[in-house]
Amino acid sequence: MLAKLRAALAKIAKRLSAREDDERVASRKSHRLSQEIKRLREELEATNKSHAATLKLADQTGDPQKERKLRDQAEREARAIHDLIKKIEWKVGKRSSWRKRRKKAQKRVSWWLRRRTTVRKQYKAAKEKWEREHRTDFEPWMLNGCPEISNDRLKKVIAFVVVGCDQYITATTNGTHTTGSYHYSEQAADWGAASVASMQTAAVKTREKFGRDYFLEFFSPCPWWIKYGVEYPGYFPGHGDHGHTAVSK
């Protein structure tokens, strides 16, 4: 459930970013068209004034040749006015289209924001429910009969591995380990389960829960291992059938 909700949040965030990009593009294009329309209208106003003045001069002049030239100029100005009106109409229509796209993008952004808020609430509720149902407070029974320890940092790992990951403890200070092993100083615990897949899942969950820096050692059937907070690729020898976690006191 938590994984599905987390994936849904990631998907929503990605789509929301795309919708916000659409809105910004539409807004920029709409603004640019508004500026162009303003410039064309100013040009149209100036051309109209010039056209009116040309016609007035043509009516007042008594020179036929000059009047003909003025009438020709007035015709050119009339064509320019017609072209400017067409351009303005086209750009106004184009701006209207971009404004509609912007409003549509804004509605989609608003919807995705509400959707993300809803899923975030669902994720929070599911996480709280999971935490309520999977107590991670250490209890002696979690040691599975192994000797008790006083290391509180290791107890947190044991509680999570047992209750949160369905594993069982196989060694604390008991058992045979290498000389100088953290087991003997109550800093390490071994754990396992019936299947390798279960142990691998538990290892990944534990690493995500506590973070790499939490561990002095972390060996498991996974194709990675941790030593002093640094993760290395590969399978650590001798740990294909159990997990091993060591932490500082």
pLDDT (tens digit per residue) in 46-81: 999 999 998 888 888 888 888 899 888 989 999 999
Domain count along the chain: 2
How far is the C-alpha of 64 from the C-alpha of 62, rounded, in Å? 6
Cβ 197 vs Cβ 208: under 8 Å: no
Lowest mean pLDDT among 14-23, 129-138, 214-223: 129-138
In angstroms, how far is the first alpha carbon of the chain from the final one?
34
Cα separation, 146 vs 224, in Å, equals 27
Domain boundary residue, one of 133, 154, 169: 133
**Shared domain check, 152 and 33:** no
What is the pTM (predicted TM-score) of this model? 0.49
pLDDT at position 14, please? 78
3-state per-residue secondary structure call for the chain: CHHHHHHHHHHHHHHHHHHHHHHHHHHHHHHHHHHHHHHHHHHHHHHHHHHHHHHHHHHHCCCHHHHHHHHHHHHHHHHHHHHHHHHHHHHHHHHHHHHHHHHHHHHHHHHHHHHHHHHHHHHHHHHHHHHHHCCCCCCHHHHCCCCCCCCHHHHHHHHHHHHHCCCEEEECCCCCCCCCCHHHHCCEEEEECCCHHHHHHHHHHHHHHHCHHHCCEEECCCCEEEECCEEEECCCCCCCCCEEEECCC
Q: Which domain holds residue 23?
A: 2-133
Average pLDDT, the chain: 88
Q: Give yes or no: residues 88 and 147 share one domain.
A: no
Residues 148, 122, single domain; the answer is: no
Average pLDDT over residues 181-185: 93
- 91 and 46 within one domain: yes
Per-residue model confidence as pLDDT tens digits over 200-246:
999 999 999 999 999 999 999 999 999 999 999 999 999 999 999 99
Flag whether pLDDT at 177 surpasses 80.
yes
Q: Are residues 95 and 187 in the same domain?
A: no
- For residue 12, name the pLDDT band (cuts at 50, 70, 90): confident
pLDDT value at residue 146 = 94
pLDDT of residue 131: 67
Domain end, chosen from 133, 163, 186, is at 133
Range scoring the smallest mean pLDDT among 1-15, 28-42, 72-86, 87-101: 1-15
